[in-house]
Structure 1
């Protein structure tokens, strides 16, 4: 199988998670805006996320199991969120966050390792 079949879903998941993170958390930087505006803007951004996530899962299902796709999505979400929270929201990542993320990464390892 060409490498693109393995890489394309991952790249689409990364892109979709960037949009979803902005849809879910981007409005927190603009708390003075009306909630209704935040909801509409978030829905518009989330639409783009769905346009990327659906093909990522459709294409990815040819080479990954559903559990592997979901695990990739969760790990990508954590990485994107960590970068977003530090650089966009200016929040610190603490040792507690790092330890929690490490436990989730350990779980991801077992999902991809195969049957025990």
Structure 2
């Protein structure tokens, strides 16, 4: 199956300079599978473990919730949740604390939304 990644920025006006969906810690984007009416959110840390705060997954969840709310405002049938990355985020948070300081954690992917 072909997957396409769409940046979260496509939903926002290009005139927005102070983007509340942007973080210096993480990038959050949409992952859409062709032929499906669902999507997932993907959170990719930008910094090494030594530079990330201990609660870096909170930034993923905060941005994820805002993107889900924006999707609802755009007419997508999805229920916004506080913890968009759910158990995957909880596990990533717990496991990443054991990583060396110079390692950048890999991406975490939410459950499917929409449909």
Shorter chain as denominator, the TM-score bin is 0.3 to 0.5
Normalising by structure 2, what TM-score? 0.34
Normalising by structure 1, what TM-score? 0.34
- Structure showing greater radius of gyration is 1
- Identify, as 1 or 2, the structure richer in helix: 1
Which structure would you say has the larger RCO, counting Cα contacts within 8 Å and 6 or more residues apart? 1
